[in-house]
Amino acid sequence: MKKKKIVIKIGVIAFLFLALAYLYSYHKIFYSENTSFIEEKIILYIPTGSGIINLKKQISPFLKDTTTFFNAAKKKEYFYNIKAGKYVIKKGFSNNDIITSLRSKNIPVKVTFNNIERIEGLASKISYLIEADSLSLMNSFSDQNFIKDNTLTKESVFAIFLPNTYEFYWNTNADQFRDKMLMYYKMYWNSSRVDKAKSYGLNPVEVSILASIVQRETPKVDERPTISGVYFNRLKKRMKLQADPTVIYTIKQKKGFDTKIRRVLYRDLKIKSPYNTYVNKGLPPGPIYMSDLSSIESVLNLERHNYLFFVADVKRPGYHMFANNLSQHNRNKRQYTSWLRKKKIKR
């Protein structure tokens, strides 16, 4: 009998020992601190299509014990569904905390863009902010089915990207980015704005193209409706817009978009390009700049007047002098050309 009791006691002790060992192991695998960095947190980017090997390469430098992490991940079946995205791992996280974060806490990123001259520049900018690279973005922007379905062209597609701050998941692909931007574009172009554009004989893309010229003409937001009115008057009369910013754009097309141009020369006005409004009537085929909302609104709310010409006002930097006729414009122009000569600005 005594022997039997001893055996039972030994069995109970062994069971308790094994239970404690199991609990210790369980706690160590799932709930012990397992970070090795000194910062308060680190950001982990997991690319689309990542498997166990790629994940190990990404996360191992930040762990004290990779073995317990991968044991925990295996037991929680995380490896069956590794999700791409941007994740935060905080100092002191346990394996359970890390897996929970990687499984369900993909962090959105702020995507801000403005002041961009070409769609290639937009693709480059965005490629630094989300997972999609610039080549895949450019391929998406120029996709013929997308362009055709939305009544765009390879030049005018630039108009759908309205500068602002947006929220995306880091693992957004090129088509997802493009389609979301189209959605925001359509939201902006509500029926009221579309009707207002129609009242001027323009569609939304044409408004954006004109707005891009207006924006390049002046940094002064309060003057943009006046300049928009000048171009509207010229369009109505079927006059060439003769907008210097479009000439500058054609020069940059030839010489490179990092070329600095402070003065347009007479010979530049003859450059053959669909963007040169000294050569061609009407609007260029696409925006020459990313129009901000104030520029677009300046076209939609253009100032009604009889002006047909304007030239820089040297007494008020950034502003212009306006004229109803060519003789008045030539008088205004003399003060500007005199100033250019005085400053010795040749190009």
Q: With both helix axes pointing from N to C terminus, report the angle between 66-75 and 52-59 in degrees, rounded to the nearest 10.
A: 140
253 in the same domain as 336: yes
> What is the pLDDT averaged over residues 132-155?
97
The mean pLDDT value for 119-128 works out to 97
Within-domain flag for 198: no
Q: Confirm whether 200 is domain-assigned.
A: no
Same domain, 304 and 338: yes
Q: What is the pLDDT of residue 221?
A: 96
Q: What share of the chain has pLDDT > 70, as a percent?
A: 91
pLDDT tens readout for residues 240-280: 999 999 999 999 999 999 898 888 888 999 999 999 999 99
Q: Are residues 233 and 113 in the same domain?
A: no
Domain identity same for 337 and 214: yes
* pLDDT tier at 2, thresholds 50, 70, 90: low
Q: Beta strands of the chain (E only): which ranges?
A: 41-46, 85-90, 108-113, 164-169, 309-312, 320-323
Mean pLDDT, residues 93-115 taken together: 94
Domain span including residue 2: 1-28
The confidence band for 342, taking pLDDT boundaries of 50, 70 and 90, is confident
Q: Could you tell me if residue 203 is inside a domain?
A: no
What confidence score (pLDDT) does residue 318 get? 87
Say whether both 39 and 124 belong to one domain.
no
**Shortest CA distance to 224 belongs to which of 290, 296, 285?**
296
Residue 16 has pLDDT above 50, yes or no: no
282 in the same domain as 253: yes
For the segment 41-60, the average pLDDT, to the nearest whole number, is: 92
Q: Where on the phi/psi map is residue 310: left (φ > 0), alpha (ψ -120 to 50), or beta?
A: beta
What is the chain's mean pLDDT, rounded? 91
pLDDT score at 346: 66
pLDDT of 128 strictly over 60: yes
297 and 245 together in one domain: yes
Least confident of 25-29, 128-132, 212-216, 282-286: 25-29
- Asked whether residue 193 is domain-assigned, the answer is no
**pLDDT per residue as tens digits for the range 219-238:** 999 999 999 999 999 999 99
**The one-letter amino acid at 121:** G
Q: How many domains does the chain have?
A: 4
The residues, ordered by sequence, that sit 6+ positions from 309 with a Cβ below 8 Å of its Cβ are 230, 322, 323, 324, 325, 326, 328, 329, 332
pLDDT of residue 269: 93
> Of 104, 133, 166, which one is at a domain's C-terminal end?
104
pTM: 0.88
Please work out, in degrees rounded to the nearest 5, the angle formed at the alpha carbon of residue 119 by the alpha carbons of 113 and 125.
40
Could you tell me if 202 and 214 are in contact, meaning their C-beta atoms sit under 8 angstroms apart?
no
pLDDT of residue 333: 85
**The residue to which tokens 């000294």 are assigned:** 278
91: domain CATH number is 3.30.1490.480
**pLDDT higher than 80, residue 102:** yes
Helix (H, G, I), strand (E, B) or coil at 89: strand
Q: Is residue 245 part of a domain?
A: yes
Residues 74 and 126 in one domain: no
Q: With a cut of 60, say whether residue 18 has pLDDT above it.
A: no
Are 177 and 219 in a shared domain?
no
